[in-house]
Chains A and B, each alone.
Chain A
Amino acid sequence: MKNKLILWLSVILLVVVVAFMAKDLFVNQNKIQENVYEYDLKELRKVDASKISHKEVKQIRIQANELLGIATDNKDQIYVSTDENILVLDTAGKQINSLRVRGRARCVSVAEDGNIFVGLSNRIDVRKPDGSLRNSFVIPGEKAFITSIAIDGDNVYVADAGQKIVHHYNINGEKIKEIGGKNLDAGIKGFVIPSPFFDLLMGRQGELWVVNPGRHAFEAYNYNGEQISSWARTAMSIEGFSGCCNPANIAMLSDGSFVTVEKGLERVKIHLPSGDLKSVVAAPELFEEGTVGIDLAVDSQDRILVLDPVQKMIRIFEAK
């Protein structure tokens, strides 16, 4: 009797051992084990919900190969530049016009009078409000690469990422001067642009704000090309700009705050005119990881239009 019990217990023990071995062999085989050396970037993509000031209210899908730039006019019409054309949409997102362009329209801006400025590699096309060509001029220089255009009356400011300079032209294509070249005597350190993202815009008092991405800085220049203000925020945390060169693109709200978008950590934020972080518009988790080339525009209602080139849509954010 006792031997029989031992025998049964042995059999049960054997079955348990075999089951354990089988589980170890077959069940755990494909389980990804943690590695102490793995660098988890997911935490950096999370944003404290209390810092998010805007909510996404609308998405407008765009049919195009490449979405490159976005702008709005004073009637809140939306202009999207692509590799083939400029799409004009009404405030509801319905397409009302399509202007064929000769090349890749890297950026687009619209003047107060409705003239449309399109940056095509090293050429600027100026189109009348009806879309017909008004005039066109070339930025000289082998490395010229236009990434942004700002307009103030007849003055046209052109961000040239290739030559790391801002060109000041008039609307007829006559060059007035260059802005932002290294001049340590004048306190200008020069633009550092490691990647082809170099944005600028006109401020509320007619000053020109230019991003110095390699320094994570904003620099303001007056009409004479003198630097009148600057601020920088270098940090991987939400308070600053991360990576080699950010922000990639900017826009301005009616109160003078800056809307910024970064690459690397795709986040859209609002910085006060002083440079301090005000709030977050869109957290990185809203974008596909590795999205590059997000552009921004703001309409008259201070709605923020975010051009998402990977998901191929305009995403509209309103204050909560």
Chain B
Amino acid sequence: MKKDRRDFINTCFRFAAGAGIVGIAGVLAVKSQKGDFLWQLDPSKCTQCGRCATSCVVTPSAVKCIHVYDMCGYCDLCGGYFRPNVKNLSTGAENQLCPTGAIKRSYVEDPFFKYEIIDELCIGCGKCVKGCGAFGNGSLQLQVSHDLCVNCNQCAIASDCPSDAFSRVPIDQAYKFAGFKSNKKI
């Protein structure tokens, strides 16, 4: 059957409308999946530049230091806790590297000390992470805390990160820290 011009234009409009509806549905479906991916930083790429503390839209930053106890040497002279050139290894504020005093040091047994991160005080600057990596075995690591992160479409820290350490990760692999012997969760 031969179509006249009116039928042809009608068919084209219908086809365009259908394609539009399918396209919009597809985009909405993809957007609805956005919640299944989260921002996370890769400690193996992180250079502890300090920008996680200042670039995040959340204050204080959603990036926090976590402590992988399985890796920790429980050192007396902890490079992540003490400033360089400290006169004595005490918990005096003048000896602490952390600008907010967010690490608690407690005696275990000679010569071991335990270091705990106080999340409320941690601003994610990464000073302790750098000190631990330089003088210890890297048991302190930075991670995006997902109960604080608002999961921006474009993460402000990811844009500022000089080492390209941020990426979106599936929700079932929300953390990328290294060194756990088992699949413990924080």
Residues of A within 8 A of B89 (CB): 234
Query: What CA separation (Å) do A44 and B83 show in the bound complex?
Result: 11
B135 touches A242 (CB 8 A): yes
- Neighbour of A44 across the interface among B53, B84, B86, CB < 8 A: B84
* Residue A8 is within 8 A (CB to CB) of chain B in the complex: no
B82 touches A37 (CB 8 A): no
B73 touches A35 (CB 8 A): no
* Residue B75 is within 8 A (CB to CB) of chain A in the complex: yes
Most buried by A among B75, B82, B162: B75
Closest CB in chain A relative to B113 CB, distance in Å: 11
A35 touches B77 (CB 8 A): no
Q: A194-B75, A216-B77, A242-B77 are in contact. Are A37 and B137 (CB under 8 A)?
A: no
| Contact pattern, A 138-164, Cβ under 8 Å of B = 1, otherwise 0 | 000000000000000000000000000
Q: A35-B54, A37-B99, A39-B126 are in contact. Are A189 and B110 (CB under 8 A)?
A: yes
A39 touches B131 (CB 8 A): yes
A244 touches B162 (CB 8 A): no
* Residue B92 is within 8 A (CB to CB) of chain A in the complex: no
* Residue B51 is within 8 A (CB to CB) of chain A in the complex: yes
Closest CB in chain A relative to B165 CB, distance in Å: 15
B84 touches A234 (CB 8 A): no
Residues of A within 8 A of B44 (CB): none
B82 touches A245 (CB 8 A): no
* Residue B111 is within 8 A (CB to CB) of chain A in the complex: yes
Closest CB in chain B relative to A266 CB, distance in Å: 11
A36 touches B50 (CB 8 A): yes
Most buried by B among A215, A236, A242, A265: A236
Give the secondary structure class of A's interface. loop
* Residue B64 is within 8 A (CB to CB) of chain A in the complex: no
Which B-chain residue is minimally distant from A243 (CB atoms)? B135
Q: A37-B99, A39-B97, A39-B126 are in contact. Are A244 and B50 (CB under 8 A)?
A: no
Q: Which of B83-122 contact A (CB under 8 A)?
A: 84-86, 89, 97, 99, 110-111
Q: Which of B47-81 contact A (CB under 8 A)?
A: 48-51, 53-54, 73, 75-79
Closest CB in chain A relative to B54 CB, distance in Å: 7
Query: What CA separation (Å) do A36 and B100 show in the bound complex?
Result: 13
CB contacts between A and B, total, < 8 Å = 85
B50 touches A243 (CB 8 A): no
Closest CB in chain A relative to B82 CB, distance in Å: 7
B110 touches A243 (CB 8 A): no
Query: What CA separation (Å) do A236 and B77 show in the bound complex?
Result: 8
Which B-chain residue is minimally distant from A216 (CB atoms)? B77
Q: Which of A218-250 contact B (CB under 8 A)?
A: 234-237, 242-245
B111 touches A236 (CB 8 A): no
Query: What CA separation (Å) do A192 and B108 show in the bound complex?
Result: 14
A236 touches B75 (CB 8 A): no
* Residue B125 is within 8 A (CB to CB) of chain A in the complex: yes
Query: What CA separation (Å) do A245 and B76 show in the bound complex?
Result: 10
Query: What CA separation (Å) do A162 and B51 show in the bound complex?
Result: 40
| Contact pattern, A 4-20, Cβ under 8 Å of B = 1, otherwise 0 | 00000000000000000
Which B-chain residue is minimally distant from A189 (CB atoms)? B110
A244 touches B73 (CB 8 A): yes
B49 touches A38 (CB 8 A): yes
B136 touches A244 (CB 8 A): yes
The 10 A-B pairs with the shortest beta carbon distances in the complex, nearest first, are A37-B50, A37-B125, A243-B135, A194-B73, A35-B50, A38-B50, A244-B73, A244-B75, A39-B127, A264-B135
Chain B contacts to A: CB under 8 angstroms: 48-51, 53-54, 73, 75-79, 82, 84-86, 89, 97, 99, 110-111, 123, 125-127, 130-131, 134-137, 162
What are 12 A-B pairs at a CB distance below 8 A? A37-B123, A38-B48, A38-B50, A216-B77, A234-B89, A235-B85, A236-B79, A237-B85, A242-B77, A243-B79, A265-B134, A265-B135
